[in-house]
Each structure stands twice: as C-alpha cells, then as structure tokens.
Structure 1
Amino acid sequence: MHVVMVAAENDRLPSCKVGGVADVIRDIPYALAEQHIRCSVIVPDYGQFELNREFVADIAVPFKQHLETATLWRVASESGVDQYVVSHSLFSQHDGAIYCNDGDQPFATDANKFALFCAAVSELLEHEMIGSVDVLHLHDWHAAVVAVLKTFSPRFVNLKQIKTVYTVHNLALQGIRPFKHDDSSLESWFPTLSYDGSRICDHIYPHCFNPMRAAINLVDKVHLVSPTYCQEVQLSSDHESGFFGGEGLEHDMQAADRAGRLAGILNGCIYSPHVEQGADISLSDYCELAEQALFVWMSKRSELMPAHYIAHQRVIQWRQHGQFRRPLVTSVGRLTDQKALLLRQPKEGQLVLDKVAALINEYGGVLVILGSGDPHLEYLFTQVMARHNNVLYLQGYGQALGDYLYDLGDLFLMPSSFEPCGISQMLAMRAGQPCLAHQVGGLKDTIAHEETGFLFGGRNLSEQAEQLLDGLKQALDLHRHEPQRYLDIKDNARAQRFSWDTIASQYIEKLYE
C-alpha cells in the first residue's frame, strides 16, 4: 500500500514547523513504514536552501488563467519513506514564513499559496509522478483544495480513483475565502471549475468557500486527533461558557459520523532510551540557558522589549537568592486563547494567572512559562511576571529551553480551553512530570485524574477557573504533604505509552483499509 501525506508543515525538514501538525507529519509516516506501508510526504518548499534536492519533475499547473510551472523535488528517502517538496516562487516569497498574517483579509495570502500547492499536488498525482497511490491523506485546511479538485474537476481521472482521508488537527482554523470577486477566491484560482456550492460553502457566510468543510464532506474518511475531540466537534460551540466544539461544522461532523466516515485516533509520541533518560540539569543551569536565550532574543530587536528585560532581571534575582525554590510549575506552548483563555480571565480584581502565581508562592514554588504568540497575551503575561517575584516568563521559543522544562518541572500546567490532541502533555508525562489539565479533547484521553496527573472541568469560564485553582492546590498539597503518593503519580505518568506503532495500526485499520 502506498500512502501519500499532504500538509503545510513537516518537522523532518528544516524550518518547516509552526505547530503540532509538523510533529505528526514527522513521525507517523515512519511508524506506518514499520508496518510495511510505503509512505510519501509532500509539503511546499518555503525556500529551505539547506535541503539536498533530487529533481523529479516539472509540473504544469493551470492556475488563475495561467499555466504555472512548479517543480517536484525528492529531498530524502529512507526507511520506506520518501520526502518531497514542491517549489514555486509563491511558496517562498515571504522569507521562509509558512503562514502570513493578513489582518483584515484573513487567510488571503496563505489561501493563494496553498491553492496553488494543492493544484500542483493534484497534477503530480494524476500523472503518477511518484508512482501509483492507494491512499491520499490530506491534513488540515491547507491541503483541502485537493479534495475539491478531485471531486469537481474533469481534469482528474486517476485522482478520482484514490481513496482520500482528511485529518482535522485544529477546527478553529478553516481557511475561509470568498467564492468569487476576490483575488484570493475559489473562482479566481480555478475560473472554469464547476462545483456544488452547497457542499463546500461556509454555513455562516454562504457566499464564501470553506476548505475545511469541503474536505469533511468530500473525502472517504475524516479523522479527528483524539476520541474525545471526535465527540466534541459534533456539538455546537458555546464560547461564552468556555466550550469549543464543532465551530460551525458540527452538523457536517454528525453526518460524517452517521455515514461511518468519522474516526477519532490519538496522535502519538516518540519513546526511546535517549529521550526518556532526560537531561541532567539544575534550575541554576536552566537560568544560565535562559539568560543566553534572552541575550539572543534581545540582539534581534532594535528596541529592548519589557518582557525580555524583566525576565533577565528575574534570572539575576533568582541566582542571587542562591537557593532555588520548589515546586517548579512549568508551561510550554504558543500563547493563544486556545491555551490561555482561562489564565486571562478576571478574578477578584486580578487575572487567574495572578492567582496561580500567588498560590504557587504560598507553597514556596516558582512558575516558569515559555512561549510567544498573541501580543495581548504576551503583554498580560509580562505584567504578571512584573507583579510576582516567583514568575519567570520567557517570551520566545527555543527547543532546548522547552525540553529542559519537561525534565525539570514538578507540575506541568495545561489549562487549554480546547485541545484536539496535544503533545506537550505527552512530553511532560514522558519526562515524569504530571500535568494539571482541562479535561477536554486529547488531554482527557491521555491523563487519568490522580493516577497520572490532575484534571479539572467546569460548566462555564468562571467554574473552570475556580476548578483550575482547586486542582492546583490539590496537586501542590500532595507534593508537600504526601510526597510518596506524588512520586507514584510521577512514575505512573512516566510509564504511560502513546506510541506511534499503536497509532499506526489504528490508521491502517480505521482510515486506510
């Protein structure tokens, strides 16, 4: 069986990662190859000059009333997996950035880029440039236009015969664009395409094309990245009360489920003696590493950012204190409302994050947060750091900074409002760090309350915030007063296995066969 994966990100390649989808595309093809599935992976070429390229073919692509030429390159071939990139000037014109922020024209630049990419992929599959294909596996809205062309364009005969699977990694991002009268629209990209608008339009904006809805309705199998998330997306969202479900696509998800086309399968995690051994590092060593990272971040900007200045002062302050405090509560991830909505909720004239910091301080502990993203959230987190001497917020990202926090921490904080699967909790658990997490999506599927970590819930934002604080107090109480029981929870967390081998078997059984 030959499976082709199409996505926007792939962490097997340099500078080709923004989020968790890159980790999945990095790992699952090799787990499938272990089970004798031949895999090919195709992503856009964002201008990564360090790639070792082997020319495969030029691709003639009808796009926007022109015949564009894209180029297919093989950039790696090992362990039963072929890695490909498709080159075109449209993919690499933003200094290697995978995604662009268009402000008042959401997704416009990216939608143009990924529409051309999808058209090129459709052509190379139609003409069997990488051999015959049994299963086409598309990931998120960036690859969804392939399903539209496969279904509606008479150009594609061979493509129509290929079984197609679609994975939803994050339903919050759907790539919605107009059908027409816009440079970044379906009819601008493919002016001769005849399509059924009722199957691919957006429910709220019916004059707009919704790539994610289109793929959900047009493919053979739809995959959600955890069993619980698979249930949640069939329910209507209620953002005011803090529930994130189908985001307008719940009826399409329900229809797919009734037709037996919907499957919830967790993502996995890599386990090996090397990664499980962990790093031999102290909190003092971590502060040195953080200081080096802060210097690098500062040097890249013409103005000194308050977050970097205060963080540097905090590192100095902690070093001068001499004795580093425990418990160490950690958090690693992009700052978005998905991850931090609860933490920015007001509570008694402060933020919930202030209450978290104060509670940790009562137990003599410190809070270290690594991440960047939404400027408003960055500002709020910086303000909290300024108000609490036991908080270090590192506004940026570094692989080592994150990896060491998993090894160092006593409790990992993951209060996501929704989490399709989540990888951070798996990495923390792998390192023996229990998590305090919201019982949604993949967090609920991977953490057992008071056995491998701690879960909280709540019917609305206020209850969720209260239960988050109660859960934090419970965990810190256990850490202080029942250290052996806490060690047992750490050991149980470390013993959990969400291996890609098991996940690959489920892919084959539930998605491909």
Structure 2
Amino acid sequence: MKILLASAEVAPFAKVGGLADVAGSLPKALSDLGMDVRVIMPKYLMAAQRAPDLQCILESVPVYMPTYTSGCAVHMTHLPDSAVPVYMVEHHDYFDREGIYGPPGGAYADNVDRLAFFSRSVLATVQALDWHPEIIHLNDWHTALVAAYCKLRDLPYATVFTGHNLGVSYQGNFPQPSLSALGLDLGDARVQKVVHDGRLNLAAVGLVYADMINTVSPTYALELHEPAVSGELASLIAERGDDVWGILNGIDYEVWSPSSDGALASRFDADDMSGKAICKTDLQAEFGLPHDPEVPLIGMVTRLDAQKGLDLVADLVDELSGLQLVLLGTGDPHLEALLADAAARHGHIAVRLEFSDVLARKVYAGADMFLMPSSYEPCGLGQMIALAYGTIPIVRRTGGLADSIKSRGPRPNGFDFIDYSSAALKEALDRALRAYGDKPRWQKLVANAFASDFSWRTSAGRYRALYRAALDKLTATRNT
C-alpha cells in the first residue's frame, strides 16, 4: 500500500503542537508494517535548517491555481533514523517565513492562500514524481482542500482526513474568500456544507470530501457529536456515521525513553529508579525550587490556552500546599500573566514562560506527577510521555485522556476527575497526594506506568484498516 501523508508541520523539522509529533512518528510505524509511506510538508525556513541533508529533486513544478499559475521546487530528506522520505515544497513568498502559521501569538493574513497553494502543490508534486500513492492522508484543516480537489477532479487517490483538534477555535474558519479562487466548484451542493454565515470552514471541507475520517481517540470521536465540543461540525460528523473512526495516537519509545534520554541529569528505567531521584533534584534546581527529595513535585508542559484547564489551576494556587508545582509553556498573554503572578506569590510554584524540548524532558523525568486538567483533549501525548518516564498523570476524564489513563481496575496508572471544576481537580490532587504518601501503593502505580504501552504499532494497524476502508469507499463511489 502506498501512502502520502500531508501535514503543515512534521517533527523534528517544524513543530507547533502534537500534530507534528504524529506526522513525524506514525509514518515510521506504517513503514515498519511494510507500507510504502512518504511525507510532504512546506519547506519553512526552520525546516530547511533542521534538515542538513536536504536535496532538491524537482526544480520547477507548475502549480495551477484557479486564478494564477505559480511554481514550486521540491526537496527531499528523510525522517530521522528511518528510510521514510520527506518532501518539502519550496515557495519563497509563502513559506520563507520565521513562523509556521504566524508570528508569536498571531496568524498570517494570507494563511488560507498559503495552505490552498500547499494543497495544490501536494497534487502537483504527486503528478511530477515517478511514484503515485493509493492513499493521501490529510491532517487537520491545513490540508483539507486536497480532499476536495481529488473529488472535484475525479482523481484516483483515496483520501483520509484526520482531525487532530476539531475544537471550534481550530477548524480553519476564514471570512469567505472567493470560493472559485480556491478551486471549489460553486455548482457542487457539498460546498454549501462548508460555508456558514459568510465564513469558510476548512475542517468541514475535510469532513465533507474525504473518503474516510478519523480523530485521534475513540472517546473524542464520540464527544465530537456534541455541538458544545465541535460547533457546526457536529452535524457533519453525525452525517458521516460509520465513516468516522477514533484511533488513539501513540508515542515513539525510541524518542521518549528515560534510559537513553541525553537531556536528563541521570538516566533510569523501571528496574533502576535511582536516576529519577537525581532528575527530581535537577528539576528543582532548574526551576529555582528548594531541594526536597520527599515533597511531591507536580509538572505541567502545556500550551497556555483556555482548553488546557489552566483557569482551574489558577483558581487553586492559593490552596495548594505540601507540594511543588512547575509549569513550562507559552501562549495566551493573560494566562502567562496569571501564572507568573502565582509563581511570584508562592515559593513552591515555578513557571517558565517558554518552550524548550530539553526542559520538557526534564519535567517529564523529574516530576512525580504530571497534570493535564483539560476542558477537552482530543488525544494528548503528554500523559503517555509521562507514563514512559514513570511519572503519574492526573487528568480530566475526556478524549484521549479517558482512553489512556485509568484510575480504577487491576492496573491503575493515574488519577482522573470528571467535572470541569476547581473543586473536582482539588479532590483528584488530594487523592494523588494521599497515594504518594503510601509508598508501596505509589511504587505499584509507577510500575504500572512503566508497563503502559502506547507504542505506534497498535495504532498503525488501525490506520492500515482505515486506509483499506478508504480504498473500498473510493472504489464503490467511482463505480456508481
């Protein structure tokens, strides 16, 4: 099976969020299952800098937009430690910028044009290569137009659209541009489903035109039927019925392993935890907290966004005692100010308003617990990474957090709460702190954490089945 995965961001070349981690890890797992999988992304300035072996393979590929013709060059590298090719589309005006979607805290005014061009360039690159995929796997609204172009031009590629985050703020809503300028057929009845109140919804384009659809956890796939979660997309998701799957993301245990992580003050594993205590001391020093090997240390690595439950944390800061809390992240200026103020007032709370892969790894390894009180969470990777480092998650039971963290049963690996309230979060924290004081129980939780397996192999098998379903759907559609 030949797969082309198209994504606006791919780790380690360009990353804003978890989409990049998936786009950089899933293809390797698919390749391990024997699939011929390749990746395509824009050639941002940062991407070129992070791919020293980049080679130009197509110097001039014509890209025919409805109102103009441009061209792109295509460069190739590989995902690290793999033979998976990565194609990078070069267009100086659109992609030679410091940011992926915009400057810090903002968005480029021409994002819809940039990503429409990238979507067209995906198909132009396929036509120019001596390689033709059976499946084009699209990720979030950034590449959803590819599905429409394939259907409107009756191209022989099955399309899969993965919604990594279909929350109302992450659907690619734009003031309605000229639809004909984007290549959408105004005579196609499906177009009416992607325009609401004068705005184009690009995630809706993926839901309407793709052969098959999935999101990144079974629970989130169910939650998306609720308008409170997905807004105007809820009716489209219900309309697609069994075409919508939920496939839990995985993590790459070669990337996230405390036994080989070079960022850590000391390495460790499930059989020898002595290094984790050293990592805790290092984390306390890194964040300017008092050295205390016994105090429970809670970590957060997060985008500072209303989705992430930081309002609940802010409500509780004056009540938290008998613990230390470290938080690493950037985002909403209001939340940044709120959390910085909390750290200034409380000596047991430390905040770093930045993102650093090295610091993130230190938090995962050095913390005793990892907090994710999200209002919603399509999948979440932080809780899986924390488990890999023997750090116990405390999560709100939603989306992928509900699918990966179990507080009950024979092998609990964390703590959860249901109501989105500071009182419910406080009760979960109290349960976790009591368990931390019971060393035999805590050691069992840590052992269960290390034993939790969220490798990509299982998820890749589900994607293989999804691709087959998409091929069957395309065949049936073209034969009618």
Partner secondary structure for residue 99 of structure 1: coil
Counterpart among 453, 456, 465 of residue 417 in structure 2: 456
Q: Call closer, same or farther: CA 1:179–1:32 in 2, change over 3 Å.
A: same
Distance 2:394 2:285 in 1: 27
Superposed CA deviations along residues 357-384 of structure 1, whole A, max 9, x for unmatched, are x33x2x2x21111111111100000111
Distance 1:49 1:423 in 2: 26
Distance 2:256 2:223 in 1: 36
Shift of 1:325: 5.5
Distance 1:287 1:107 in 2: 38
Superposed CA deviations along residues 197-216 of structure 1, whole A, max 9, x for unmatched, are 6545446x342221110111
Shift of 1:64: 6.1
Gaps of at least 5 residues in structure 2 are: 267-277, 470-480
For 1:179-190, list aligned pairs within 5 A. 179-180=176-177, 185-190=178-183
Counterpart among 259, 262, 271 of residue 244 in structure 2: 262
The residue identity in structure 2 corresponding to 1:511 is Y
Aligned to 1:168: 163
The residue identity in structure 2 corresponding to 1:114 is L
Shift of 1:132: 1.6
Distance 2:72 2:256 in 1: 40
Identity over the aligned pairs, expressed in percent?
A: 30
Contact 1:200 1:213 in 2 (8 A): no
Aligned to 1:28: 26
1:354 paired to 2:352: no
For 1:204-243, list aligned pairs within 5 A. 205-237=196-228
For 1:7-86, list aligned pairs within 5 A. 7-13=7-13, 16-47=14-45, 48-50=47-49, 51=51, 52-57=53-58, 58-63=60-65, 65-76=67-78, 79-86=82-89
Q: Call closer, same or farther: CA 1:512–1:218 in 2, change over 3 Å.
A: same
Distance 2:149 2:161 in 1: 14
Contact 2:43 2:96 in 1 (8 A): no
Q: Call closer, same or farther: CA 1:45–1:427 in 2, change over 3 Å.
A: same
Distance 2:187 2:86 in 1: 32
Q: Call closer, same or farther: CA 1:130–1:497 in 2, change over 3 Å.
A: farther
Shift of 1:246: 2.1
Superposed CA deviations along residues 66-115 of structure 1, whole A, max 9, x for unmatched, are 210111111237744211100001333432x10116999x7742212111
Shift of 1:289: 4.2
Superposed CA deviations along residues 257-276 of structure 1, whole A, max 9, x for unmatched, are 2xx21110000012249814
Q: Call closer, same or farther: CA 1:434–1:283 in 2, change over 3 Å.
A: closer
Shift of 1:288: 4.8
Question: Structure 1 residues 333-342 or 414-423, which shifts more?
Answer: 333-342
Aligned to 1:146: 146
Superposed CA deviations along residues 296-328 of structure 1, whole A, max 9, x for unmatched, are xxxxxxxxxxxxxxxxxxx2xx4xx55456110
Shift of 1:443: 0.1
Counterpart among 218, 227, 231 of residue 247 in structure 1: 231
1:271 paired to 2:253: yes
Distance 1:495 1:383 in 2: 38
The residue identity in structure 2 corresponding to 1:5 is L
Partner secondary structure for residue 90 of structure 1: helix
Q: Call closer, same or farther: CA 1:124–1:466 in 2, change over 3 Å.
A: same
Superposed CA deviations along residues 229-282 of structure 1, whole A, max 9, x for unmatched, are 000001220xxxxxxx2222111111112xx21110000012249814264234
Contact 2:185 2:191 in 1 (8 A): no
Q: Call closer, same or farther: CA 1:211–1:41 in 2, change over 3 Å.
A: same
Contact 1:406 1:427 in 2 (8 A): yes
The residue identity in structure 2 corresponding to 1:492 is N
Distance 1:418 1:41 in 2: 29
Distance 1:405 1:506 in 2: 31
Q: Call closer, same or farther: CA 1:222–1:94 in 2, change over 3 Å.
A: same
Deviation beyond 6 Å, 4+ runs, structure 1: none
Shift of 1:63: 2.8
Partner secondary structure for residue 95 of structure 2: coil
Aligned to 1:473: 430
Contact 2:375 2:398 in 1 (8 A): yes
The residue identity in structure 1 corresponding to 2:198 is H
Structural RMSD (CA): 2.4
Distance 1:148 1:396 in 2: 38
Aligned to 1:408: 366
Partner secondary structure for residue 92 of structure 2: coil
Counterpart among 81, 87, 90 of residue 87 in structure 1: 90
Aligned to 2:188: 196
The residue identity in structure 2 corresponding to 1:176 is N
Q: Call closer, same or farther: CA 1:34–1:200 in 2, change over 3 Å.
A: farther
What TM-score results when the alignment is normalised by the length of structure 1?
Answer: 0.81
Distance 1:18 1:502 in 2: 25
Shift of 1:477: 1.2
